[in-house]
Structure 1
């Protein structure tokens, strides 16, 4: 794993990148940052949740269809992919120029989900598939966020090493750092 620790270096890499992955726990702010970056970098924005995984009624697409959709996306020259799902890192990482890992504290992520639910409950948010209205979070979803670092971060790290050892990874640790990264990228253009 090529860890980037300097935010200015990360902003410079993102400013030149044609293919960007944004990953992390639910509620970390992946979609907010992703949409802003895609807009400012003129990259085609794809949400794993909206464009790959879910169809109406919170039904998951068949795994083979999900893979076909992802294969079509990653073969393109310019994109930003918002979504975690390490089970597909082997498709995405080899084509990725940089990964932004939203690695915010779990309480921050839970607050992010609470705000998202308050804003969107019962309606379909823009980064979600049609027919999938924002639900109240269940225990499994809250547990996923609470235990993300312990259960899922190690899988991310192994997958980064296995499928993209040459891909630079910048870890965003706070909302303020996400804003700073975006500000640096905007000022570079």
Structure 2
């Protein structure tokens, strides 16, 4: 596990898990949100973003978290391990709302400078709620298409995430830790 990609719905815990894995495995952490957004919540030009992601994927070792479907296939092709946080939408909604209140008006540690946290807007909450029916099938298809040559870890609950981290803490053999959880 040298190039780990963490994906999942908003509020699923991608940034939290990537920080924990980065620390435990001594890997640099790449928060896509921190790189995508420009001050004032301005989106980058698509070609600039594609080039930036391409350069990031060339790194030898990393933990990268974030969705950004336009570059997901590119990041899947570059990683050796994918962790799909497939948690219940109600839990993800709760976490997104809690995060919004916790960091309201402040820049989160995993976010770009000049992008203070706001309460989640209805469109974002709708995306989280509908993730299992609208986004998940596309993610599953991409995971299936990129299965060869990489380990896919599918975590469906807080308990499974905790067990996965516990297993990593118990062994220096990261292959065993990843293998002890359901793969797609």
TM-score by length of 1: 0.87
5 Å matches for 1:133-172? 133-162=116-145, 164-166=146-148, 167-172=150-155
Structure 2 partner of 1:43: 27
Deviation at 1:110, TM superposition (A): 0.6
Aligned pair 1:100/2:90, yes or no?
no
Distance in 1 (alpha carbons) for counterparts of 2:64 and 2:130: 23
Give the structure, 1 or 2, with the largest relative contact order (CA under 8 Å, sep 6 or more).
Answer: 1
| 1:31 aligned to which of 11, 15, 31 | 15
Comparing 89-98 with 120-129, greater Cα deviation is found at 89-98
Post-superposition, which runs of at least 4 consecutive aligned residues in structure 1 deviate over 3 A?
none
Comparing 120-129 with 84-93, greater Cα deviation is found at 84-93
SS of the equivalent of 2:4 reads strand
Deviation at 1:86, TM superposition (A): 2.4
RMSD over aligned CA atoms reads 1.1
Structure 1 partner of 2:49: 66
Decide whether the 8 Å contact of 1:19 with 1:79 is kept in 2.
Answer: yes
Distance in 2 (alpha carbons) for counterparts of 1:105 and 1:161: 21
TM-score by length of 2: 0.89
- Give unpaired runs (5+ residues) of structure 1: 1-16
SS of the equivalent of 1:21 reads strand
Aligned pair 1:120/2:103, yes or no?
yes
| 1:55 aligned to which of 25, 38, 49 | 38
Decide whether the 8 Å contact of 2:22 with 2:29 is kept in 1.
Answer: yes
Decide whether the 8 Å contact of 1:86 with 1:155 is kept in 2.
Answer: no
Distance in 2 (alpha carbons) for counterparts of 1:26 and 1:130: 20
Deviation at 1:90, TM superposition (A): 2.4
Number of matched pairs: 171
Structure 2 partner of 1:7: none
- Give unpaired runs (5+ residues) of structure 2: 173-184
1:163-182, CA deviations, whole angstroms, 9 ceiling, x for partnerless residues?
x1313221111112111111
Decide whether the 8 Å contact of 2:101 with 2:119 is kept in 1.
Answer: no
